[in-house]
């Protein structure tokens, strides 16, 4: 036996390394299963906070004369979900998360936990009518964004293409739902105040437009059954009422009166839509968790199969070793004599094929993941470009987004293309004084 052969004989075999790879895959899937449970809890908490925000705006815009009882009841319900989410956060295993992903994930969780810890202070200011509807909506939006950022981090780190697609669909749907929640809060404040306002009307139009973009991405990455559920939702009676009230809000000239009594109808119509959206969100999360369990079962079955092969001694390429080079030299490998330790050509060939199958699977997963994550990368670029505009032009987040959209329309380009160009020019942009 040559020195190379002796060294190879002493080394771990192909099957040993395949077993190691499968164990890594199982650890990753367990992490994703844990993360999907976290995402589920966040979805319920966000839904409660969205309703709390809408009721807070009704209460504030009416000068404290409306919705106090409903708001206090919502506080109690939200608190229960905050407690559940806090327990889920505490149950996260630092060791189960790769260094880079873990650092980002726990930083996101830290920000969300900080926001939840000061929620009571915001509530007290609302109950004392010491805040206005704009600042209150912005405060709740910041907290909800911090929670949704945890979902984004999960979507950005998933290594299984099918799971990654579901997470991208879920994140975009949840983001669209949050924009719908902001629409409910903004419209509630307008109707309860009894007067149309140009700035709030422009905000409503931006929120409606942004929702549609999120739902288009959701439709691209979700399955047909969920897309059908979403299409069906557009035909329910509450949505027709919502559309009618939208027209009232958007067509009434600024400073002209609005029907104060319509505030409850608006809130109820928006709530019916948001509750139905929460149903889709729950179904999407359940599909995500089922996919994690399915993949975990399959990976464990694969691991047991590999361990059985190793126990039988099916560990080397033996007589079929030259097949490793066959593709490189172009053609079938020439026949070679079996080594003394060979376990038989049939078993040896099966190991060789298993190695290639694993490599091909990883290559296919990598290609699909790249396509799935393109959507997330575009979002990152747009958010960074908004940050540049906010810093250099002292714009609000909404105004920064509107500026990007206007530039994209004027230049006939995609939003992400304008964002990329702006980021390239960022070092040369002057900063305007405050």
Show the CA angle centred on residue 131, arms to residues 129 and 136, nearest 5°.
120
Does the pLDDT at position 14 exceed 50? Answer: yes
Q: What is the mean pLDDT of residues 205-230?
A: 87
pLDDT value at residue 368: 53
Q: What is the mean pLDDT of residues 70-80?
A: 96
Higher pLDDT, 244 or 90: 244
Among the ranges given (250-264, 322-336, 374-388), the one the predictor scored with the smallest mean pLDDT: 322-336
Does the pLDDT at position 384 exceed 50? Answer: yes
Higher pLDDT, 367 or 80: 80
- Residue 416 phi, psi (nearest 5): -65, -30
| Per-residue pLDDT reduced to its tens digit, 308-348 | 877 777 554 444 444 555 555 454 444 434 333 333 333 34
pLDDT value at residue 171: 83
Most confident among 334-348, 355-369, 378-392 (mean pLDDT):
378-392
With bands split at pLDDT 50, 70 and 90, how would you rate the model's confidence at 213? confident
For residue 94 the two structure tokens come to 């630092």
pLDDT value at residue 339: 38
**Integer Cα distance of 246 and 232 in angstroms:** 20
In this structure, whether the domain defined by 357-434 belongs to CATH 1.10.10.10 is answered with yes
CA dihedral 202, 277, 122, 39 (to 10 degrees): -120
Higher pLDDT, 426 or 422: 422
- Spacing of C-alpha 143 from chain mean position: 16
Q: What is the mean pLDDT of residues 221-244?
A: 85
Where do the domains of the chain lie?
16-299, 357-434
Nearest residue to 140 (alpha-carbon basis) of 78, 224, 94, 89: 78
Check: CB of residue 321 under 8 Å from CB of residue 337.
Answer: no
């Amino acid at each position: 036996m040559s020195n190379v052969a002796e060294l190879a004989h002493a080394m771990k075999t192909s099957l040993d390394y395949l077993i190691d790879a499968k164990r890594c895959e199982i650890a990753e899937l367990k992490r994703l299963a844990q993360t999907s449970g976290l995402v589920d809890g966040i979805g319920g908490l966000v839904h409660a906070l969205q309703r709390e925000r809408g009721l807070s705006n009704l209460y504030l815009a009416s000068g404290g004369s409306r919705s106090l009882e409903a708001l206090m009841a919502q506080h109690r319900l939200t608190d229960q979900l905050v407690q559940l989410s806090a327990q889920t956060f505490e149950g996260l295993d630092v060791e189960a998360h790769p260094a880079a992903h873990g650092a980002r994930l726990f930083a996101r969780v830290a920000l969300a936990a900080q926001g939840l810890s000061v929620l009571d202070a915001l509530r007290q200011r609302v109950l004392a009518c010491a805040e206005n509807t704009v600042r209150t909506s912005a405060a709740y939006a910041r907290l909800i964004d911090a929670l949704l950022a945890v979902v984004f981090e999960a979507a950005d780190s998933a290594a299984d293409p099918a799971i990654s697609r579901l997470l991208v669909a879920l994140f975009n749907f949840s983001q669209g739902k949050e924009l719908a929640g902001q629409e409910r809060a903004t419209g509630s404040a307008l109707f309860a105040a009894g007067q149309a306002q140009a700035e709030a009307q422009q905000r409503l139009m931006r929120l409606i437009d942004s929702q549609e973009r999120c739902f288009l991405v959701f439709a691209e990455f979700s399955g047909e059954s969920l897309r059908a559920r979403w299409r069906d939702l557009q035909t329910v009676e509450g949505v027709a009422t919502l559309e009618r009230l939208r027209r009232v809000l958007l067509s009434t000239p600024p400073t002209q009166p609005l029907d104060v009594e319509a505030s409850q109808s608006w809130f109820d119509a928006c709530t019916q839509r948001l509750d139905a959206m929460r149903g889709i969100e729950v179904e999407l999360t359940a599909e995500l968790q089922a996919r994690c369990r399915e993949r975990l079962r399959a990976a464990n079955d694969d691991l047991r199969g590999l361990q059985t092969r190793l126990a039988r001694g099916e560990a080397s390429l033996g007589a079929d070793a030259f097949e490793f080079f066959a593709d490189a030299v172009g053609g079938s490998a020439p026949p070679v004599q079996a080594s003394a330790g060979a376990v038989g050509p049939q078993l040896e060939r099966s190991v060789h094929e298993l190695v290639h199958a694993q490599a091909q699977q990883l290559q296919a997963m990598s290609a699909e993941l790249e396509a799935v994550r393109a959507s997330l990368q575009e979002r990152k670029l747009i958010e960074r470009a908004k940050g540049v505009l906010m810093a250099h032009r002292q714009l609000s987040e909404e105004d920064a987004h509107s500026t990007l959209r206007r530039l994209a329309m004027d230049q006939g380009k995609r939003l992400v293309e304008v964002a990329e160009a702006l980021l390239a020019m960022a070092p040369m942009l002057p900063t305007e004084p405050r």
